[in-house]
Amino acid sequence: MATAGTQKQTPPERNLYLDALRAGALLVVVFGHWIATLPRFDGDVVIETEHLLKVWESAGFLTWVVQVVPLFVFVSAAVSADGVARRMEQGHRQLHWWGSRALGLARPTVTYLAAIAVLGLISVYTGGRLLEPFNQSLTIHLWFLIMLLSVQALLPVSVAADRRWGLGAVVGLVVAAALVDLLRAMPTSIADVLRLGQRVTESGVGIGWLNMLLVWLLPQQLGIAWRRGRFRGAWAGLAFLVLGAAWLSATVASGYPVGMVGRDFHGDSNMLPPTLALAGVMWLQVGAVLFFERPGRWLLDRRRISGAVGMLSALSMPLYLWHKLAELPAAWLGERLGLPVDAGLPGEAGFWIGRLWWLGFCTLMVIPVIAAVVAFEMRRTRNVVQATNTPAILIGGFLLFAGIVVSLALGALPGALIGVAGVAAASWVLRAHPQPPRAK
């Protein structure tokens, strides 16, 4: 029997393990982004930010752990699968559900882009010193919203595929993704197949963009299969872990890049567009979810841990959207205090101490940012009614995608300045606008 103060009763409809996985993935993404950002100073001015992978190729192995976007998609699908299935059985229109998701993402994104646009305008009057070094990094993380909304639009298809083919749907996606890579590589001999990864990343991108959908649908299909009980238990988790380790070893040996993040659109990465190698990270993550499920659920029976998970879950979207902004005051504070946040390159004296200072400053600076954002969002109208007519949802979705894409492509300035208009319009279109009663 649980003693008071050590355990708490959780409502049966709430799955704390899934919440903990999402919260953990979120923290890994946030700290991963901060670790990867290397501010560079000239005197007392930040002149640029470098990416850790650009200066330290071996850091690519770290991305096998910190590239947790597949885990987020996997868990989101597991959470939503039953609700989508019920709506399908009741004949409800799934587009309405997707519209509510789009509206839920559009509203906080408007606030973020508006703040970045204002900072961009201020930066114009300071000769670019305020935002220029961080211009692209302040919007690049918004790609995740586009990917998540895209695969969630196909959740009903994924649920139907699981009903009909079970794990065969997972196998089908893997085969399709492999076929795309083969078409990119166009091997003509056994030797070409053995260096498939090298040929893929040296080829033009072209048809490879099909994997932007196929590869990201894979963790969604896995999440649905797990929710339906098609695989479970520590032994299944161990099998996935072994598969992931073997998969990654084989793909890297064939010439695929080690890193599981992308920095450009030249096709020489496993992310832009996604490649077959990225599936290896998915196997590892699914294996870890299964292997640690039992001890994880045991820990979550403790009140303090479950409370922290609940808080992180509530702050997930604000923290994801705003964590990059904390880098600006963190760089300023580090420079003013004369601490080594710009500590050269890996292997040089003080580099890792400098990384710890940088993480500490980013963590310190994100707290007031999130507090201000939460205070603002609390004052906004809640429970906004979402539009139910199909044209409004389609137009709103298009405007939302367009606004985010522009912000992604053009950075904080002028991207956010232009993109905020599209996202704001999407937020307006996606909500219901009741007509006042007509006078008799």
Q: How far apart are CA 244 and CA 241, in angstroms?
A: 5
Contacts of 209 (CB under 8 A, 6+ apart): 273
Phi, psi values for residue 38, rounded to 5°: -110, 105
Instruction: Name beta bridge partners: 41.
Output: 46
Cα 131 to chain centroid distance, Å, stands at 23
User: Is pTM, for the whole model, over 0.85?
Assistant: yes
* pLDDT tens digit at each of 440 positions of the chain: 344 344 444 444 568 899 899 888 988 999 999 998 888 887 667 767 888 888 888 888 999 999 999 999 999 999 999 888 888 877 767 788 899 899 999 999 999 999 999 988 887 777 666 677 788 889 989 999 999 999 999 999 999 999 999 999 999 999 999 999 999 999 989 999 999 999 998 887 889 999 999 999 999 999 999 999 999 999 999 999 999 999 999 999 999 999 998 766 565 789 988 999 999 999 999 999 999 999 998 888 877 777 888 888 888 888 999 999 999 889 888 888 888 888 788 888 888 898 999 999 999 999 999 999 988 888 877 667 777 888 999 999 999 999 999 999 998 888 999 999 999 999 999 998 766 666 55
Q: Which helix (H) or strand (E) holds 41?
A: strand 37-42
Token pair in block for residue 364:
């310190």
Q: What is the b/e burial string over 393-425, where b = at least 16 CB atoms within 10 angstroms of the residue's CB? A: bebbbebbbbbbbbbbebbbbbbbbbbbbbbbb
Instruction: Name beta bridge partners: 7.
Output: 4, 302
The H-assigned helical ranges of 278-350 are: 278-291, 293-300, 303-314, 316-322, 327-336
Token pair in block for residue 395:
């137009």
Q: How far apart are CA 36 and CA 141, in angstroms?
A: 13
The sign of the dihedral angle between the CA atoms of 30, 423, 19, 151 is: negative
Q: How far apart are CA 187 and CA 216, in angstroms?
A: 25
Phi, psi values for residue 365, rounded to 5°: -75, -25
pLDDT computed for residue 347 by the predictor: 81
Token pair in block for residue 167:
């794990």
CA nearest neighbour of 39 among 259, 416, 330, 349 = 330
Q: Is 248 exposed, middle or buried (0-12, 13-18, 19+ CB in 10 A)?
A: buried
> Quick one: DSSP state of residue 109?
H
Q: 364 near 348, Cβ under 8 Å?
A: no
Q: Is 175 exposed, middle or buried (0-12, 13-18, 19+ CB in 10 A)?
A: exposed
pLDDT computed for residue 394 by the predictor: 93
Phi, psi values for residue 4, rounded to 5°: -65, 140
pLDDT computed for residue 54 by the predictor: 84
Token pair in block for residue 98:
């997707």
Determine the 3-state secondary structure of 3 from DSSP. Answer: coil
Contacts of 175 (CB under 8 A, 6+ apart): none
Q: How far apart are CA 334 and CA 357, in angstroms?
A: 8
Token pair in block for residue 32:
């991963």
Q: What one-character-per-residue DSSP string does 166-205 give?
A: THHHHHHHHHHHHHHHHHHH---SHHHHHTHHHHHHHS-S
CA nearest neighbour of 225 among 86, 81, 12 = 81
Q: How far apart are CA 305 and CA 113, in angstroms?
A: 33
